[in-house]
Amino acid sequence: MAKLLSALIAGLLFGLGLLLSGMSNPAKVLGFLDVSGRWDPSLALVMAGAIAVAFFAFRRAEGQTHSVLGEPMQLPDKSRLTLRLVLGSVLFGIGWGLAGICPGPGLVLAGMALPDGLWFVAAMLLGMLLFRPLSRCLS
Amino acid sequence: MQIAWDSFTPFASLAGGLLIGLAASWLVLMNGRIAGISGMLAGLVDRAGDWPLRLAFVLGLLAAPLVWRGLVGPLPVPQLSTPLPLLLLAGVLVGIGTRLAAGCTSGHGVCGLSRLSPRSLLATLSFMGSAGLTVFVMRHLLGWS
């Protein structure tokens, strides 16, 4: 129960951060991505602020085998550079650039019950479902 | 390049970023997990064994606007302008792309870069680059606003 409550709190803090930062406003995200137009650099500060805090937490986490709540530390591989990684990231970036919405802000917009947010999340989940058969073809 | 000073929000964005960093720190130190939102969702879609934890995290994100309204007041109004067919295409691309790359802005961008992961650096450069290029093509070559 404590583990679930803890994950809920993390999700909530994350969502509040997305709202406060401007990340959940697609027009602001597109303004940040539009480097050659009228560039809004605000969102660079979101990344800087987040890393400034999380850097210390991850340094601590990497030296431990278990979390405070006794769960095994599950940290993914850091060094495997693959074509899949680049191809997937490029596809994700095209989607992000088309709408100005990435997964976290998509959920926050859906939580506001905005039709566009709900459509985006539905399409994203469909993409994730489609991935399984696609992944079989690729390998 | 021209800076859009009128829409620049350094303090709110930095404060929001600190809060996001706090959320990622909380999840890794308390639960031993990376706060990767696409990964959490993918595990829910695939009904992974730890789906209750993933669901709790996702519910927290979904509840954020409600809590904001209770604690802070009126929500910041998001401006959306993408026509529905493009929005749906964007969602599908984000779904497939983040699975193929095993991460998005949160998992690779925030958590991976904080871990000084070369893999996440490559992913972040790739998605920031293609997202910037997409906006350039849409706005400045095709003339969409």
B107-120: per-residue pLDDT in tens?
Answer: 999 999 999 999 99
pLDDT at B143: 86
Q: Which DSSP state fits B2? A: E
Q: How far is A59 from chain B (nearest CA, A)?
A: 7
pLDDT at A133: 87
Task: Report phi then psi at A57, rounded to 5.
Answer: -65, -45
Between positions 104 and 133 of B, the ones with CB within 8 A of A are 104-106, 108-120, 122-124, 126-133
Q: How far is A57 from chain B (nearest CA, A)?
A: 5
Q: Over range B130-140, report the average pLDDT.
A: 97
Dihedral (Cα; B99, A77, A46, B59), 10-degree rounding? 50
CB-CB neighbors (< 8 A) of B67 in chain A? 12, 15-16
The mean of the pLDDT values for chain A is 96
Tell me which H or E stretch contains B3.
strand B2-3
Rounded to two decimals, the ipTM of the complex is 0.97
- Cβ count near B90 (within 10 Å): 28
Task: Report phi then psi at A76, rounded to 5.
Answer: -70, 165
A-B contacts (CB, under 8 Å): 495
pLDDT at B144: 80
The mean of the pLDDT values for chain B is 96
pLDDT at B1: 77
Q: Flag whether residue B13 sits within 8 Å of chain A, measured between CB atoms.
A: yes
- Dump pLDDT digits (tens) for A35-67: 999 999 999 999 999 999 999 999 999 999 999
- Dump pLDDT digits (tens) for B121-131: 999 999 999 99
Q: Flag whether residue A94 sits within 8 Å of chain B, measured between CB atoms.
A: yes
CB-CB neighbors (< 8 A) of B95 in chain A? 95, 123-131
- Dump pLDDT digits (tens) for A87-136: 999 999 999 999 999 999 999 999 999 999 999 999 999 999 999 888 88
